[in-house]
Structure formats: C-alpha cells, structure tokens
A and B are shown apart, each in its own frame.
Chain A
Amino acid sequence: MLPLRPGKYTAMKEIYHILIQYQGSGAMLLLYAVALAVLLYNEKDRSVRILFGYMPLVIFIVFFIPPVYRIYSRLDGADTYYRLLWLIPMSVTIVYSIARCFAGRRLIFLAGACMVIILCGQFTYSNVHIVKAENRLHIPQAVISVCDTITNDTGGERAMAAMPSELVTFVRQYDTRILMPYGREMLMPAYVNYYNSVYAAMEQTQVIDLHRLVEAAREYSCGYIVLNASRSISGNYEREGLELVTDLGAYRVYRDSGR
C-alpha cells in the first residue's frame, strides 16, 4: 500500500478524532452498525434499503474524504464537521431494526433491546450542564439580581458594565440594555490570543488590581463594575472613584462616579 501524504494523513487523523469525539464510548456506533447490518440483510423494501442502508454508507465514506473535510473547514470551521454525521439517520435505523426484529417475538425481546439502549447510552439529564431551573427564564437568579440592580440605578437607560467572566454568557440574555466591554467570545478557544484590557485586569490575575481594572474599564466607558465577592482585591474603592450600589452577597455592584 502506498504511504499517505502528510496532509492527507493529518486530515484523516483529525476526521477520525472527530468521529471518536462524536460517539463517545463507541457503543452506540456499534449498535448502529449492527442495526445497519440487520437492515441490509433483512430488508425487503427496496426504497428503505437504498435510503437507510446504502446512502448512509456513502455519506460515511464522504465523511472520511480529506478534501471534503478541508472544504467544510474553510466554510464553517473544522469544529462543526461532526454535523455531517447528522445526515446518517442513526436513531431511526436502530429503532427500525429493533422494531422489525421485535415483530412476532415476545415482549422480553423488546425489554432486552431497551436495556441495550440504556447500557450503551448515557443519561442526558445527568449532564453537568443541566441544573434545576431557578426561574422560567432558565437564567441564574444571581445574574437577574445584578442586572436589575444596574438598570434600576440607571433608570432603565443603557449602561456599560464590566462583569466577572462567569456572568457574561447570561447577562445579555436577560437584558440587552446592559453592554459589556467583553463577552462570551473571551471564553471561546478561538479567542485565546485576543487581548482585552478589562478581561486581563478582571480575570487574568490572581488578585484584582483595582486601579488597573478601573483604568481599563474607563477606556471602555464602563459605568459599572461587578466584582465576585470571593475574589481577592487590592486597592481603595473610594480613591478609584467606585461607589457601592448593592452588595448581593455573591457579587458586589459598583458605580464608577470618577469617570
């Protein structure tokens, strides 16, 4: 066999890595492979064989073609290349094959199939990103309190506020009257080399230097600075022109009156 060219080899490795990441343990992929084999072996309906048997095989081959990967990466970025696998109807094929095998057999077979699905899968609601909702907005209550404090203080006018990074994803989902010098982009891997002076002063330091933070915030015309109460802070609030608006426990909202 001819050795693969380096570029092609790297692309193949990346595609393989994407597949591995997509399917986790691989048990579900194995289940699908078995279901596909059953469908191709058993299925009498020619149209079903074509669309749910042969076509996914073609898509799977296309998925592994390096030029396809490169073109897709140029268009939308390699991090979403896994979406090509969405074109393979895995769930429907698994279910169809199980249901076909179930036809005319005992209920115990169906119970066994359910057990296989449960064992191969992962309970979605045990995901760490799923928590009990605190309100109908499904936004942390602390964020709502911070935002309400600021908008009440401005009388409903727009205001620029520097926020701790754990809040930036949620603040503008609740109220877009609050503007921020940096947002969720600073938490994304694509922006790892991007510099924002407020973010640097707020997050890229062990102890927040109040003078540095206020100077940076003023460059962005921030009227408010929200600080996480658990962070260590050096400097004098009054000397920097910061006035405490509210202490919410976990967060303290300051108004910059020295602008």
Chain B
Amino acid sequence: MPVLTGLFPISFLPTHRRRLHLVIVSGYFSSFALFEILGLPVLFFMDGEFRYLVVSYVLLSLVFIVLGVQRIRKTDGIPGFRRRILRTQKGVFLEDRYAFAAWWVYAALLLFQLFMAYTRASFDGDDAYYVVQALQTYQWGNMYSYVPYTGISTVLDGRHAMAMIPMWAAAVSKLSTVHPAIVTHTMLPLIFLPFSHLCIYCALDEMFRSRQFNERRRLLPVSMVLICLLQIFGNVSIYTPETFLLMRTWQGKTVFANIVLPTLFWLLLGIAHHYEKEREDTPKEKKDAAILFAGLSIIHITAGFCTSLAPFMTAMLTGLACLMTAVAYKNPRILRNGILCCIPNMIYAAILLRLMLIIFLSSS
C-alpha cells in the first residue's frame, strides 16, 4: 500500500522524470506523513481510539492510490518501465562488466544483511518501550494509555507519543494480523534495510549528477558496495547510524538516521542543483522548485513520525543548508522557501513544547 501511495506525488513530476524507485521513496514518505497527520488528532481529540486511525489511514491511502493511478494514466503513465528497466538497463549492465560485477556484489551484501536481520535477534532495551507500545495498542485498541514497562494506566506521555511509528507498526500488525514483535523484529528490517539503501542511492545519484553517464553507472554500484561494507563494519560504537540500522532497524531513531536524513540530503542537494544556474521565472521552473520544496515538507512531517526531536534537527539542517545555498547562489528565495517548508516543524514544536510544559507543571 505505501508503494502505491507514491503514484500520487509522482504524478506531479514531468513524465520523463518518473522512475520506479521514486514511486517507492515518495510512497513510503507520503504514507508515513499521512499516518502522522491523521494520528495526532486521533490521539489528542478522540481519546486515542486506534480503530479510527487505522480506518482513516486505509481509506485515505486508498483515495491517494486511486487519485495517483488516475493522474498517472492521464499523464502518460510511467514511461517505458519495461523498456527502461528490462532492456536498456540490461544492456547497460552487460556493457560494463565492472558495473555488472559491482551490482552483484552489492546484491550479495544486501542479501547477507537481510539474512542476518531475519536469523539474528539483537536485544535492545528500548524495545521494552517501542514494541510494547505497538503491542498494547494492537491488543487493547488504545494508544499510549498504559505505561509500557509495567502496564499500569497512565496519562498521555506527549513527548514520546507524538512520534507515531510504533502506532504504524501496530497498524501493520492489525492489517496483517501478525504479532507486533514479528512485524518489528522480523518483517520491518526486510523492508527498511533495502529502503534505506534506496534513499542513500538517491542521495549518491544526485551527488554524481555532474559525472558522465559511463562513469556514473560504474560509480553508483561501487558506492553501494562500500555503503554496505560501512554498515556491516560500522559498529565502532553503539551510537552510529550504521549500528542502529543493523541492530534496531525497526525503531524510529533508525528510520530517522538512515532513511529520513539521506533523503533530506538528497532533496537539499536537488534544491541546490536547481538554483545553481541562473533561472528564468517560468511556470515550469516554479513548478520544479515547488515539487522539491513540497518534498522537503513531507520529509519534515516524516521526521516527526520517527522521533519527537527529529523535526528540530531536520529544521536546523534545512535552515542551515538553505542559508548557505542562498548565500552561495545569491538567491534569497531558497531561504524563504526553506523556512516555509519548516512550518510543519514549527507546528510540531509548538504542540510538543505545550505538552512538555503541561507535564513539567503537573510534576512540579
């Protein structure tokens, strides 16, 4: 379902820029953002009744899928999927034996990661919070009503509750009728690991944009091999994003560090590349910029879906990147648009600070 949701945002791209991997990335991000936007009102105004969230999430996702399919069909579809992937790429692969070999090495390393994720259990104390929140919601139908460690009723822990990812795991469990511990520990790593690679691939692809095609098609698979190695040998401490990715793949912090941040860098670089050259103020240019900045807003909402402090971090990163790019390219519009994209972060921060203030006042 999240992948198909991506058809709607992709339909706004010009036909020649629609790609399958963009459908996947935009689909998951849109789906996460949608869940966050629906989840917060249910949590605060509907006593955290989980079924309302699941029903509205499924219905709205279906609406987005239908709208996406309709728009894609009306606007020439995703052109040449068969041609591009099955013929051209095959030709490209076989032409360059280094690229071909590197993709196979990458595939082997990814399979190794997936195999280890499925057959090895990594015990992390934080699961006593995240997985239990998902399971409580799955079993009792209320969000954040009990202390996860003990099961005793409690008031809403707003600081943690605003990040909806454990509820998303509960929703996946509900829809698939699979125990949340299996969903989080076994199923999600099989999705999030390749998805994280895909986001990093997008960022690297944008970085190599100025390279020639022949060079790029070799550099990308080689880079992905190196990324895999850095992850597999990235356990220099328990704090690195690589350790989080392989040991607690299902947690919001991991999704933030290994999925949201690479995607954010990809879009920020895309924006910088967009404004690199002097551009005329045509509707097409405006539309291209609007799509990039809209993507940025979706990423910011997804950051809030992952962990409560993430929107502050993404806002800081966006602000800094837009400021530096605006100064470098002498274009204040980059900064203005960047700040506008942080409006979701500001709303999120206002709600969060209010909740923290209530907790602070009630405890003092």
Contact = CB atoms under 8 A, between A and B. Distances in A.
Interface string A85-96: 111010110111
> Which range contains the number of B residues in contact with the other chain?
35 or more
A158 B225 CA distance: 49
Contacts of B355: none
Interface stretch (B61-69, B148-156, B290-298): B148-156
Given A173-B128, A173-B131, A138 B247 contact: no
Interface string A10-32: 00000000000111110110000
B128 A169 contact: yes
Contacts of B209: 45
B121 A130 contact: yes
B273 interface: yes
A117 B253 CA distance: 24
Contacts of A44: 210
A255 to B, nearest CB: 19
Among B151, B208, B227, chain A packs the most CB atoms within 10 A around the CB of: B151
Interface string A70-91: 0000011000101111110101
A183 interface: yes
B236 A187 contact: no
Interface string A108-130: 00100110011011111111011
Interface in B229-249: 229-237, 239-243, 246-247
Interface residues of A, number: 84
A54 B323 CA distance: 12
A94 B321 CA distance: 20
A135 B181 CA distance: 11
A178 B231 CA distance: 37
Contacts of A138: 121-122, 181, 185-186
Given A76-B309, A169-B128, 20 more contacts: A45-B210, A47-B269, A51-B324, A55-B320, A83-B253, A87-B313, A91-B231, A92-B203, A92-B265, A95-B223, A95-B227, A99-B222, A122-B236, A130-B121, A131-B120, A139-B181, A169-B125, A169-B127, A175-B139, A177-B139
27 contacts: A22-B240, A45-B207, A48-B269, A51-B324, A76-B309, A84-B313, A89-B261, A91-B227, A91-B231, A92-B203, A94-B226, A95-B227, A99-B204, A104-B215, A117-B233, A124-B231, A127-B247, A131-B121, A131-B122, A133-B121, A138-B122, A138-B185, A170-B128, A172-B128, A173-B128, A176-B151, A179-B150
